[in-house]
Structure 1
Amino acid sequence: MTGLLAELRRRNVFRVAAAYLVVGWLTLQIVSLIEAPLGLPDWTDTLVIVLIGIGFPIALLLAWAFEMTPEGMKLTVAVPAEDSIASQTARKLDFAIVAGLVVLVGVIVWQQLASPQAATAPELAARAEAGEGASVAVLPFADMSPDSDQAYFADGISEEILNVLVRIPGLQVAGRTSSFAYRGQDQDLREIGSALNVSHVLEGSVRRSGTRLRITAQLIRSEDGFHLWSETYDRELTDIFDIQDEIAGAVADELATSLGLDNGAVSVARTSDMAAYETFLHARQLYRDRGQDNLELAAAMLTETLARDPEYGPGWTVLAGVYLVMPYYRQGDSAPAPELRMRWNALTVETARRAITINPADAQAHAFLGSALAENWNWVEGLDMLDRAVALAPNDPDVLDTAAQILGKVGYGAEALALSERAVALDPQGAIFLNTLGNLLAIQGRFDESDAQFRASIDIDPSLRFPYANLMWSHARAGDIAGTQSALTTLLDRGHPAPADEDLIEPFIAAQTLAEIQALAAESRGFVRTLYSLLASDMEYFFSQVPVGTASGRPTNWASYNPFWQTFSGEVFADPRWKDWVRRGGLVDLWRARGFPPQCRPVGADDFRCE
């Protein structure tokens, strides 16, 4: 045995084995780096590993049987001992092995230096208290599929990972709208992290071929661009949920190492029906894109999803959202009939309650339910649902924005403004969030600030109708005739119809004085009348000309019911007609149940006063 080992050493078999393994390892690293940029097949890594494995025994056999000589390769047994240069070859192999090991050690050291060092207990406590560094943005995963037709699927994976991360206590996650605004942009991740005000960025790619998936993900520290963690997953499509959880868990583990986060398991709703899941991803994207056609198709696709898996909670939640926004995205100038609006409201309530039954911790479903109940004048339960939604997801900008919109309508302006500012801070590229913030600032009479928010919303999404209209109303409340006319002109130029009074729009835009507008208001069916009352700050005209009640006793259309929206002098709050309007709207009952807003207080058993 001793003689065999000596002969193996003399023939450099051990050295060849060591050199082969070092070179094989370096080859694998190079292949992994160039595979994605060159668009190599998913099985490239596996092929290289197999080839290296096959080549290993062959290399050892050749090292045993042959020897390199000055005259070339010869059989070892044919080389006389005095002519052998095996010792010289051994030295060359030693140098090669040492060089390879130096490269290996260098990579290991670099990886250690690039990774954050574990903090001490006092440091972790301090960071957790300050929230220092505990933030991440999930960028939309790139679609690397052969036909580049899986963008919706890649987006769905990114969003599911974001949904897991956002549930981790202490971790701030940048809003989806802002993160996804960087789709397809070849921008330095350090710049993206700085723009989104996050300490870490998660990016990745998805390649789908039939039922096979390759998902890559990497976590980068925004401060210096160092890679903290990366992984590649080659799985079957049926493993998609496991992959999403693994990626989110790995990111949470990596962040927890340096930030002291509690990265305990988070329960996320799943479906075992992959066809239902794919349909859901398509529908959710259509819901986010808005538009009447998209929403109607989304409703049909979600109905299909839920027929396949009736217990899939997220499907019910998104369907509730579709029904909730349906009335606001009708094509043309015709508002939906009251019966249709009531039907959508009932469907929103029904589907949101179903989602909550399946998952009582579904914050978005609570927010949709709260908004629908409020729209149906059920203020007490509606705001209770909204309060629960915010408590369940205090860092979800969609939830915060939904709650802010309702709270601002019923007198809780300061509370609504705080939620809206929080939503914008979490997702500064969310056009609808900026629009809400503009509305709440306008209610407080801060018109310059509100105009800035509306214009920022328009810059982000020029197709969104609401900021154009709200910019017009804001100028009207400020008494700015020219600004109101200009905003209305822009609204029409963008292809958005005016609410009504089509025959009076051109004369209104051409009017030079309040007197001219007042004459038009006398002919108005509502739109120009309201504009005039605001431009003139004429409280008397508003109550005498603008209908504020219906045969049912409720104020007119809930969507325009906002007693705190007008900017008349403080006398409006003492006006019996205003107070009657508030009572018929059910706000006094809400205030007594939830607490009066700061500007209002109860007077006796039945009266109240606002200032």
Structure 2
Amino acid sequence: MKKIIQELQRRNVIKSALAYLVFAWLITQVMAIIIPAFDLHTALLKTAIVVLSIGFPLWLIFSWVYEITPDGIKKTVDVDPEVSIAPQTSNRLNYVIIAGLVIVIGLLIKSNLFPSASAENEPKVVPVEVESDKSIAVLAFADMSPEKDQEYFSDGISEEILNLLVKIPNLKVISRTSSFSYKGKDVKIKKIGEELHVNHVLEGSIRKSGNTFRITAQLIDVNTGAHIWSETYDRQMEDIFKIQDEIATKVTEQLKVSILGTSLTSVKVDPEAYNLLLKARKLSNQNSSESNNNATKLVKESIAIDSTYAPAWAILSHLFYRSAFNYGSMPMDEAIRDGKLAARKAIELDPNYVEGYLNLVIFETASWDFKSASLLIEKAKKLEPNNSSVIFAQSDFAAATGKIDLAIALFAKAKDIDPLFETHWYMGYYYWVKGQFGQAEESMNQSLFLHPNDNSANTLMGDIQLSLGHPEKALEYLEKVTEPFWQLYKKSKAVYAMGNTQEADALLEKLIADWGNLAWPNIADVYALRGEKDEAFKWLELAFDNKDISLLEILNYPSMKNLWGDSRWNTFINKLGLPKDHGFHMD
């Protein structure tokens, strides 16, 4: 081994390796600065890293086999040791390594003492402020009933316990989306803790027979696997709320988390009404127009039995929103009216129930009452600052008022509470509206890898390809979109960008004929892309006159830059009634 090391030193292999690593690092740092500055594709940096990684062993082999001599490159074995200039080469490599290290140290000092302007402008992510040992994920309770027909009930129990825990300000509680993703999977508790970044997991089961049920709950320390606390309850249906409260209280006691000096208060609701509500909640998670309509019927039946339960009204409000905004099965004005009434009823019944406020935020924003929406978000933040739904609502509101950097920062914060939430589509959208098309494409490639036939993913990727200057490629993605409106709307832009003006005109005429009484901001987007400012402003005015909430999204689109500089742009933005600190461009 000693002889091998000596030979490596004689042939300058070790110093050649150090020089290679130093300058490979410098190359990647320079590229990391140049790529975002010129909006180049981020794949260039990845490619460079791969090439440099492959080149390293090849460079070592070259250093071992060959020597640079005054007469050119020769194999080391063919060079007489007496005429070898390896010692001189060694000295030169010393200078190269020292120079490289000086540059490296200089760059590190500069980056720490004088951060770049772009770094200063990057949105800051504020982590959830809790002690590391005060974090928990509530897994979906297992249905142990003989017929296996109580999944909706076991899901509901665990979700209600989660909702109680999330009210505690200094406890980090992972959201339902992430914690319920392990349902039916054989995953070790330690792995769940690592993936969700928590130190405790609450799991349990329910076995229901008639009006009697048995609930088992156990709190587990992720790091040791030890059961910190466990309990089994055999009770009647009427005691379900007391048990939920008791489990939540026991968990907080074991984690030594204060419940603000008070105990949780049991909510009384008719058992039959509660059972219907749990079934509705299960149906609503199926995300279809039919399941949404059926869930709405069940909630209305629940409220007819007992109208004093705030969550029932909050769920009804949310179902109204989805009926109009997601499925078009309810007129917009009717959904806003009834949705507001239901959300306000939830708040009236329970002023501390955060979902009531969040639902009302949506409808106030849809009504263009930004001040009310902002105040409601602040109220929700005070009630449950670590609730991911509250943070997502903040992010959505920030985007609706043009503050995309803030929306991204809040979105990242919510991701800390909901680690398994699929973020690629959202980040692709945010990068696209910010004009960072390479990063947008990268995010959407990941989204489409997971959901290749998703309409919204293919639609957004079509927009991104169009912004990248690839209209033909945009059409490939738009052909996969099955919704007629979205395909027609987006294709009218792609075909125009390809230079097929006659076909593009025909598509735009059809869009106006078929959807001109609803898609005002979308048609404005098409005209803005075409650079036809008069028509673009005409349709923007129609969108405003009809209070189309999607206008606030489309004002962020890259096509709107074609309207900047026109005196009508500032006039239009000013009359929207936006908050003074809105983020939309102003000339």
- What TM-score, normalized to structure 1? 0.67
What is the distance in 2 between the residues matched to 1:536 and 1:545?
A: 5
Alignment partner, residue 158 of structure 2: 158
Is 2:441–2:461's contact at 8 Å kept on the other side of the alignment? yes
Equivalent pair of 2:533/2:563 in contact (CA under 8 Å)? no
- Is 1:518–1:532's contact at 8 Å kept on the other side of the alignment? no
SS of 1:524 mapped into structure 2: helix
Name the % identity.
28
Q: 1:457 to 1:386 in 2, by over 3 A?
A: farther
Q: In structure 1, what is the equivalent of residue 396 of structure 2?
A: 405
1:304 maps to what in 2? 301
Letter in 2 for 1:364: E
- The equivalences for 1:185-334 within 5 A come to 185-256=185-256, 261-262=258-259, 264-265=261-262, 267=264, 270-330=267-327
Inter-partner Cα distance in structure 2 for 1:550 and 1:599: 17
Moved more, 543-552 or 370-379: 543-552
Q: Give the deviation of 1:305 after TM superposition.
A: 1.1
- Judged with a 3 Å threshold, the aligned counterparts in structure 2 of structure 1 residues 570 and 462 are, in CA distance, closer, same or farther, namely closer
Shift of the 268–181 alpha-carbon distance from structure 1 to 2, 3 Å rule, reads: farther
1:478 CA drift (Å): 4.0
Instruction: Report the Cα offset of residue 389 of structure 1.
Output: 2.3
1:171–1:543 distance in 2 versus 1, CA, 3 Å: farther
Which digits, 9 at most, give the CA deviation of each residue in 1:470-512, with x for residues without a partner?
33333334443244223323333xxx4443639x95x987x59
| 1:488 paired to 2:478 | yes
SS at match of 1:229: strand
Q: Is the 8 A contact 1:554 1:584 kept in 2?
A: no
The residue type paired with residue 582 of structure 2 is P
For 1:429 and 1:393, locate their aligned partners in 2 and report how far apart those are by CA, in whole Å: 21
Larger RCO: 1 or 2 (CA < 8 Å, sep 6+): 2
Q: Aligned partners of 2:375, 2:266: CA distance in 1, in Å?
A: 24
Q: Is the 2:401–2:584 contact (alpha carbons within 8 Å) kept by the matching residues of 1?
A: no
State how far apart, in whole Å, the 1-side matches of 2:204 and 2:453 are: 29
Change in CA separation of 1:563 and 1:513 when aligned onto 2, cut-off 3 Å: closer
Q: Distance in 2 between matches of 1:284 and 1:486?
A: 37
> Post-superposition shift, 1:557?
2.9
Give the corresponding residue for 1:105: none
Change (3 A) 1:142 1:296: same
Q: Which residue of 2 aligns with 1:559?
A: 550
Q: Does 1:597 align with 2:571?
A: no
Q: Which letter maps to 2:288?
A: G
Is 200-209 or 542-551 further displaced after alignment? 542-551
Q: Structure 1 residues 437, 422: CA separation in 2 closer, same or farther (over 3 Å shift)?
A: farther
List per-residue Cα deviations over 1:103-136 (Å, max 9, x = no partner): xxxxxxxxxxxxxxxxxxxxxxxxx976222211
Q: Give the AA of the match of 2:479.
A: T
Deviation at 1:182, TM superposition (A): 0.5
> Where in structure 2 are there 5+ consecutive unaligned residues?
1-127, 513-518
* Residue 447 of structure 1, aligned match among 411, 415, 437: 437
Tell me the C-alpha RMSD between the 2 structures: 3.4
- Any conservation in 2 of the 1:290–1:329 contact (CA below 8 Å)? no
Measure the CA separation in 2 of the matches of 1:352 and 1:278. Answer: 21
1:323 deviates by 0.7
> For the residues of structure 2 that align with 1:324 and 1:569, how far apart are their CA atoms?
28
SS in 2 for 1:499: helix
Q: Give the counterpart letter for 1:415 in structure 2.
A: L
- Is the CA contact 1:555–1:561 (under 8 Å) kept in the aligned structure 2? no
Q: Which residue of 2 aligns with 1:184?
A: 184
| Range that drifts further, 320-329 or 177-186 | 320-329
Once the two structures are superposed, what CA deviation does each residue of 1:522-563 show, in whole Å capped at 9, x if it has no partner?
A: 541486999999799847335535743456962673224336
Cα drift, residue 274 of structure 1 = 0.2
Rg comparison, structure with higher value: 1
Amino acid at match of 1:211: N
1:148 aligns with 2:135: no
Q: Deviations over 1:135-191 (max 9, x none)?
A: 111110110001000000000011011011111121111110111110011111111
- 3-state SS of paired residue (1:439): helix
Match of 2:333 among 334, 338, 342: 342
In structure 2, give the amino acid aligned to 1:310.
S
- In structure 2, how many angstroms separate the alpha carbons of the residues matched to 1:270 and 1:173? 21
What are the Cα deviations for residues 253-274 of structure 1, in whole angstroms up to 9, with x where unaligned? 1111xxx555744646723310
Runs of at least 5 residues in structure 1 that lack an aligned partner in the other structure = 1-127, 601-609
Residue in structure 2 matching 1:548, options 529, 536, 539? 539
Q: TM-score, normalised by structure 2?
A: 0.69
C-alpha distance in structure 2 between counterparts of 1:363 and 1:461, whole Å: 32
Secondary structure at the residue paired with 2:203?
A: strand
Match of 2:169 in 1: 169
Any residues of structure 2 matched to 1:27-66 within 5 Å, and which? Answer: none
* Structure 1 counterpart SS, 2:481: helix
Amino acid at match of 1:204: G
Amino acid at match of 1:430: F
> Which amino acid is the alignment partner of residue 412 of structure 1?
K
The structural deviation recorded for 1:300 is 1.2
Structure 1 residue matching 2:499: 3-state secondary structure? helix
CA contact (8 A) 1:508 1:517 kept: no
Shift of the alpha carbon at 1:451? 4.1
Alignment match, 2:421: 430
Match of 2:228, SS state, is: strand
For residues 490-529 of structure 1, the aligned pairs below 5 Å read 490-492=480-482, 496-499=483-486, 501=488, 514-516=498-500, 519-521=503-505, 523-525=507-509
User: Displacement, 1:348?
Assistant: 0.9
Q: How many corresponding residue pairs?
A: 453
For residues 472 and 179 of structure 1, the distance between their equivalents in structure 2, rounded to whole angstroms, comes to 33
Alignment of 1:75-94 (within 5 A): none
**Separation in 2 of the partners of 1:547 and 1:336?**
28
Partner-residue secondary structure (3-state), 1:411? coil
Return the alpha-carbon distance in structure 1 between the equivalents of residues 262 and 425 of structure 2: 36
Q: For residues 363 and 575 of structure 1, what CA distance do their matches in structure 2 show?
A: 42
User: Relative to structure 1, is the Cα distance of residues 396 and 266 closer, same or farther in structure 2, using a 3 angstrom cutoff?
Assistant: farther
Q: Relative to 1, partners in 2 of residues 1:473 and 1:265: Cα closer, same or farther, differing over 3 Å?
A: farther
For residues 304-347 of structure 1, the C-alpha deviation after alignment (integer angstroms, 9 at most, x for no partner) is 111111111000011111111212332xxxx568xx11101111
* Matches of 2:359 and 2:524, distance apart in 1: 33
- Find the aligned partners of 1:224 and 1:447 in 2 and give their Cα distance: 45
For 1:434 and 1:402, locate their aligned partners in 2 and report how far apart those are by CA, in whole Å.
18
